[in-house]
Amino acid sequence: MEPSAWDVLAQAAAWIEEAGWVVLFTVASTRGSAPRPPGALLAVAPDGRMAGSVSGGCVEDELVQAVLRGDFDAGMPRTWTVGVPAVVASGVDLPCGGQLTLVVERLDSAAGLRALLAVLERGERMVRRVCLATGEVSLHKACREDAGFAFDGENMLQVFGPRWRLLILGAGELSRRLASLAVPLEFRVTVWDPRPEYRPDPAPVGFEFIHDRPGTVIPRYAPDTRTAVVGLLHAAVVEDQPLADALGSPAFYVGALGSHRTQRVRRRRLADLGVSPAVLDRLDGPAGLDLGARGVAEIALAIAAGLVRARNAGYAGGAASGTAGG
């Protein structure tokens, strides 16, 4: 499971508090084929433990060895380049034939990372600015116009936002499979089912279960523009009101399981609940990409792929994970 930027920052802060410092690597720019986008993060502890990644695995070992040798023990933030052309700072070639330029920071205090994480927990978007000339690191409230990531050779600006959230309507094997795919895709997963006996025991990692009444679940959950809602219940009397409420919310994606015939019948019921035709057009049904899926695992994969497509194509407010691609 690839950790999110939140996880990398939190782990980096914990290592600083434990060992006194950490080295944080950020992909500043890429050329040619590169496995990770600008903004991707890697934290390396003094003993070589890693969190995150900046490549497909071909660079991390060299970075760990550089940390263990003490190559980054002092000095201002700097750039470090790997890959083609052949003559680069590190001498490490990327199998993909691309080139990465990394910004390297040695962090001796966790205060800045903790402050950033605290703001993100409140649901706010922040820009973390690193000045390579002075070493100054500052936090600024993000504006809608701010790009997810920017680097001009002197200043690195990275937008961090609240976590992506996924609310799954209906507990069961399909919801479990979808949750297991969504967590490594950086979604914080909540599964709702009005039947408390459907709570999984033990609950999977990254999985929260709630059992509010159908008419209160969406108002209480409060979907925002970084939220997806997927209906998996196939029970109209239970699922229709939450879906209607979700369609009227800022959620970036609302989908529901079922055949095309099921979707036509569902849309008529939602219209009877007062959902307008324009709002109904937001409903993705059948949910996910058409993969010709058969079986629970393939259906979960198709829905997860649909979530990623909607997130990457439709969200213009900055990256969730601190990368330009979100």
Low-confidence ranges of the chain (pLDDT < 70): 1-3, 32-34, 83-98, 144-145, 147, 202-206, 314-326
pLDDT in the model for residue 236: 74
Q: Distance (Å, rounded) from C-alpha 256 to C-alpha 275? A: 15
pLDDT in the model for residue 87: 42
Q: Distance (Å, rounded) from C-alpha 318 to C-alpha 312? A: 10
pLDDT in the model for residue 300: 95
pLDDT in the model for residue 33: 62
- Beta-sheet strands, E only, within the chain: 22-31, 41-44, 50-52, 78-83, 99-107, 126-131, 137-141, 149-151, 155-160, 164-169, 187-192, 207-210, 227-231, 253-256, 283-284
pLDDT in the model for residue 59: 87
3-class secondary-structure state, position 212: coil
How far, rounded to the nearest angstrom, does the alpha carbon of residue 145 sit from its chain's CA centroid? 20
pTM over the 0.75 mark: no
Classify 164-312 by CATH class. alpha beta
pLDDT in the model for residue 49: 97
Residue 28 φ then ψ, to 5° = -90, -35
CB of 299 closer than 8 Å to CB of 292:
no
In which residue ranges of the chain is CATH 3.40.50.720 found? 164-312
pLDDT in the model for residue 88: 44
Burial class of residue 280 (count of CB atoms within 10 Å of its CB; 0-12, 13-18, 19+): middle
